[in-house]
Chain A
């Protein structure tokens, strides 16, 4: 099962874009389609479609006939010959629209989440931005919030060091304890810090494995920035998706409670089929080794069971049994 994709550009997005493009064009006497496309991050063709629509839109007017003076107008020669947009008549709109309550809260929650990063640790800039967004919102901001991320101060020293190594272009060295329990000193060209909710990862080029690797920040210790320049930068390396499958992965069949499916989405391969099995769903997960699997399955007790292969079942049973045995002593 793939992660849910963002929604495609719908009528609502198109309307938001039209209402945003008009004030931008009013502030710019003459702008090329290419410039507008780059500014909005939208393909040039969509800019042209929007301009074509704006140019024939307006007000019904006194006669309800949408007369010329009641419509927007553009310099058609400049548009058709030079791909330039020049508004020559405008109606109704004077300024940029306010944010909706949900739009503002999406940005505010994003800002609250970012306050976990060392750059924004003072939070004064974040607080003033949140106040501004609230004032620029139509109606009240929806009551939503993100917290507990700022308490990730335990990871702050690692993040600060990674930041330093990224800024200076110097290799990073640290002890890493992998999921198999092996501790190794790793030397890495840091590429990117990624996070998903409360979990933080370093993506980097590992000089030991000579490949891009992902490291959980909470498994990193004794990190230091070396005086060796990096050999790889994020612009030069193909960075796979955080949970992208590897051809070496092992596939394991599981039965899972439907309510727990979202928790396993990262492990379920794209296109995997779920099949009803009583109240549960039978599907497959991919893992790099059974050491990771036993931890995953044991952390979701009662909602997921390994069906096959038998070795995988045995590894999970053994892991839980040896833990349970500690309580009998």
Chain B
């Protein structure tokens, strides 16, 4: 006879309840033989390999939700998997009592959550809002008139994010502009940051900090051995590093007065446009070259020479690809 299937959420909920209620912890065997959703499928004295695998996946699932599932060695029997005990300590599970949010803050967090309308972080922000609602605070009237959105379309984001949280090395193929073939990188991933609308990976390679653009990562990201993460506010350091590069790099252009290029470049941060002369800051010469190629004859690059060359090469490439002379 097949027992009636217990829905996944009921099994997970029962597991969390059972582990929250125990001070001393439960062994795997106790869990599988008693907890709702497992005990229906438990074979006393028989083979429970499938059920054990199920339990392993469930543990990952509830940890992903921020539930701090702990394991304790039994006294005098350290390292024995059979006597390992599982529990969820209440102090680490519950939101600290001094973490409260006002109606105004709740409204701001609601708006912050709406920036993720696609990709894996939309699910995360949806679950964060459920937990926020649990506190019972009614949000202030939403701030009307804003619909902000961050995009997350780089396939490398999720595997890199997972690797960073696990603290493991990664390998990926990276296509540098101007190179024919992508080449392999083996790095310690440190932080993912969006700077001026583009996602970057800050990483350590041969003891040095490097920055990689996510959109230039080609194909799968594979994980390697555990690595030692440096201390510090890694995203803030990565952003400060990008900002420093941006400030250092200066381009000089001639722009056609009254053109789309003149107006949009003048509206760029840190840009100075006087008559038909423009001075800009930038992070990456190839990205700026792409952008400036789009403006066509409205822009003439004066310096630096590598930007000028990059734009000329792009324009000639577009002409020949489209049957021009």
- A324 close to chain B: CB less than 8 A: yes
B119 with A4: CB separation less than 8 A: yes
- A34 close to chain B: CB less than 8 A: no
Quick one: which of B267-303 are within 8 Å of A by CB? Answer: 267-271, 290-291, 293-300
Q: Which of B150, B193, B297 contacts A323 (CB 8 A)?
A: B297
Query: Chain B contacts of A154 at CB under 8 A?
Result: 266-269, 271
Q: When chains A and B are docked, how far (Å) is the Cα of A179 from the Cα of B263?
A: 12
Q: Which of A107, A132, A177, A320 contacts B293 (CB 8 A)?
A: A320
Among the listed stretches A79-87, A144-152, A268-276, which one makes contact with chain B, having 4 or more residues with CB under 8 Å of it? Answer: A144-152
Q: Which of A93, A137, A313 contacts B322 (CB 8 A)?
A: A313
| A143 with B192, Cβ < 8 A, contacts A98-B93, A192-B145, A298-B315 known | yes
| A107 with B126, Cβ < 8 A, contacts A64-B34, A218-B267, A320-B319 known | no
Query: Chain B contacts of A129 at CB under 8 A?
Result: 101, 105, 108-109
Query: Chain B contacts of A21 at CB under 8 A?
Result: 134
- A210 close to chain B: CB less than 8 A: no
Interface of B is mostly: helix
- The digit string for B154-191, where 1 denotes a CB below 8 A from any CB of A, is 10000001001100000000010000000000000011
Q: When chains A and B are docked, how far (Å) is the Cα of A4 from the Cα of B116?
A: 11
Q: When chains A and B are docked, how far (Å) is the Cα of A67 from the Cα of B10?
A: 17
Quick one: which of A273-329 are within 8 Å of B by CB? Answer: 294-302, 305-306, 313-314, 316-327
A218 with B317: CB separation less than 8 A: no
- A262 close to chain B: CB less than 8 A: yes
B134 with A20: CB separation less than 8 A: yes
In the complex formed, the residue of A with least CB distance to B137 is A39
B9 with A57: CB separation less than 8 A: no
Q: Which of B104, B120, B296 contacts A298 (CB 8 A)?
A: B296
Query: Chain B contacts of A325 at CB under 8 A?
Result: 297
Most buried by A among B92, B105, B259: B105
A53 with B164: CB separation less than 8 A: no
| A138 with B294, Cβ < 8 A, contacts A3-B118, A92-B20, A143-B164 known | no
B127 with A148: CB separation less than 8 A: no
Q: How far is the CB of A35 from chain B (nearest CB, A)?
A: 11
Q: Which of B101, B119, B299 contacts A132 (CB 8 A)?
A: B101
Quick one: which of A1-49 are within 8 Å of B by CB? Answer: 3-7, 10-21, 23-24, 27-28, 39-41
| A317 with B324, Cβ < 8 A, contacts A11-B8, A104-B128, A147-B239 known | yes
Q: When chains A and B are docked, how far (Å) is the Cα of A306 from the Cα of B322?
A: 7
- A217 close to chain B: CB less than 8 A: yes
- B67 close to chain A: CB less than 8 A: yes
Number of CB contacts from chain A to chain B under 8 A: 411
B123 with A6: CB separation less than 8 A: yes
Q: How far is the CB of B244 from chain A (nearest CB, A)?
A: 12
- A219 close to chain B: CB less than 8 A: yes
Q: Which of B94, B127, B144 contacts A12 (CB 8 A)?
A: B127
Most buried by A among B18, B96, B235, B258: B235
Among the listed stretches B46-54, B58-66, B75-83, B220-228, which one makes contact with chain A, having 4 or more residues with CB under 8 Å of it? Answer: B58-66
Q: How far is the CB of B4 from chain A (nearest CB, A)?
A: 13
14 extra interface residue pairs, beta carbon distance < 8 Å, beyond A58-B14, A113-B194, A262-B153: A4-B153, A41-B133, A53-B7, A57-B10, A59-B21, A109-B115, A109-B150, A110-B148, A143-B235, A154-B268, A216-B264, A217-B267, A295-B295, A299-B293
- Chain A residues at the B interface, C-beta cutoff of 8 Å: 3-7, 10-21, 23-24, 27-28, 39-41, 53-54, 57-60, 64, 66, 91-107, 109-111, 113-114, 117, 119-120, 125-126, 129, 132, 135-139, 142-149, 151-155, 162-163, 166, 177, 179, 181, 183, 190-199, 216-219, 221, 234, 259, 262-263, 265, 294-302, 305-306, 313-314, 316-327
